[in-house]
Amino acid sequence: MTTPTTKTLVPERLNQALAARGFSATELAARLDVTTTTLSRWRNRAQVPSAAAMELLAKELRVTAEWLTRPVRAAISKPNFRGSVAQLKQDRSLLQTRAEWLEEVAANFEEHVEYPDVALPCVQARSLSEITTEMIEAAADTCRREWRMGDAPAGDILLLLENSGVIVAREETGVARIEGLSMWSDTGRPYVLLCADKGNAYRSRFDAAHELGHLILHRHIETPTDPRAYKLMETQAHLFAGAFLLPARGFVPEVGLPVSLHGLLQLKPRWGVSVGAMILRLRALGVINEDGYLRLIKYRSTKWGQKREPNDEDREPEQPRLLRRTFELLANEGVIHTEALPSYMGLSAHDLESLLSLPIGYLSRKKADVVELPIKRREPVDGSAPTMLDLVQNVVKLDRFRK
C-alpha cells in the first residue's frame, strides 16, 4: 500500500466514514476546527487538505490516513433493508456503509482463501408484480431441498447461510429500528448484515430468513422508494421467511386444533420461531381464517404485549463463524498479524472486532489466543516448494448442516 499524500484524498472515503460515525458535516468541521466551507471543498475536490489535516481527519473518523486515500471498491447492489422505508436516511446510510466495509474486509481475506461456493436458488423475476405466493412457497421449498433440510425444523440459520456462500455479520449498530440488510456484490457473493441491538434469538432467526428471502426473490429487482411497493417487497420476504422456517408439510401436522397460544408456545423452542410468526404462517397457509388470525393476534398482544413473548430468553442468538474462522486461519499461517490487521484494513480495531465477531479487545492484545484449525493446503502448480501465499490458499468451509 502506498504512503498517503495530500493529493490523494478520496472524497467517497470521507463520505463513508461520515456515515459510519454518524457525524454531520457541521459536527466534523467543528471537531477539526475548520469551516464547513473548507470541509465541503475537500469533499468536492476543490481543495486539498494538508498532511496535518489528513492525520487529524483520520483520527476523528477512527480510520487510517492511508485508508482515506484508497479508491473505493466496485459498487454493490442497493441493499434491501429489514425495516420501514420511512426510517431515517442517516440510519440507512450508516448500515449501508457497514455493509460496504463488511464486503471490503471479506474480499481482502478472499485473496488468500476460498469461501464456500454460493448455493442459493434464484427467482428470475424483474418486478415485484411477477412474484406470486406460489413462487415464494416454491422458492423456499427449493432452498430447503437443495440444502438437504427436509421438512424438519431448521438448525442454525447463520450456519446454513454461511455454508451456502453468504457472508454474514451480526453486530450492534445503535440502529434498533432496522433489523438488518442484504445485498449482492459485483462478484456474485451475497452479504447479510444483522443488527444485534434487540438481542432476541427468535427474532434474529426470522430476520436472517427474511434477508435470505430478499437475496433469492429480489436479486434482480431494485429496492423501491415508493412506500406501497416497498411494503410489498417486505411482505414477500416475510412470506418467504415463514415458508422457509415453517414448511407446511412438517409444521402444520404438529399444530393442535383449535389453534391456541398455549399450543403454539409449546412448539416455539422446537421450531425456533416466535408465536407471532407462527400465527402469520398459519394464516398464509389457510389453517386459520382472518377472524381466527385477528383473535389470536389480539389475545397475544393483550396477554404478552407487542414486543416480547414467554421463553424469549431460553436460547442465545446465533453467531456468524465464517469470517472469524477465516481470520484465525490466516493468523495461524502468519499471513495476518493480529495487531497489524487494523492498519492493514484501515479501520479501527473495534470496527473489525464487530464485523468479524471477535471479542472486544481481541485485536488490541499483544498476544492473541489464536484457535488452531485444520487447514487444507493447495499443492504448488509447478511442483516447487510452496511460498507463504501458497500455504494460505486454503479452503475455508464449515460443516454442512444435516437434519
For the stretch 5-19, pLDDT in tens is 445 899 999 999 999
User: Which of 258, 275, 304 is a domain's end point?
Assistant: 304
89 occurs within a structural domain: no
Alpha-carbon distance 292 to 283, whole Å? 8
Give the pLDDT of residue 223.
85
User: What share of the chain has pLDDT > 90, as a percent?
Assistant: 73
Same-domain pairing of 299 and 327: no
Overall domain count for the chain:
3
Average pLDDT over residues 322-327: 96
- Give the C-alpha distances (Å, rounded to integers) separating 371 from 70, 332, 333, 356, 374: 32, 8, 11, 14, 10
Which pLDDT band, with edges at 50, 70 and 90, does 395 fall under? very low
| The predicted structure's pLDDT at residue 401 | 28
Which stretch of 34-48, 114-128, 172-186, 192-206 has the lowest confidence by average pLDDT?
Answer: 172-186
Domain that holds residue 382: 322-395
Q: How confident is the model at residue 227 (pLDDT cuts 50, 70, 90)?
A: confident
- Residue 110 CB neighbours (<10 A): 15
pLDDT of residue 82: 66
Rounded to whole angstroms, what are the CA distances from 339 to 205, 318, 320, 331, 402?
Answer: 33, 27, 22, 10, 37
The verdict on 265 and 347 lying in the same domain is no
Mean pLDDT of the chain: 87
Confirm whether 32 is domain-assigned: yes
pLDDT at 85 > cutoff 60: no
Q: What is the per-residue pLDDT for 375?
A: 33
In a domain, 66, yes or no: yes
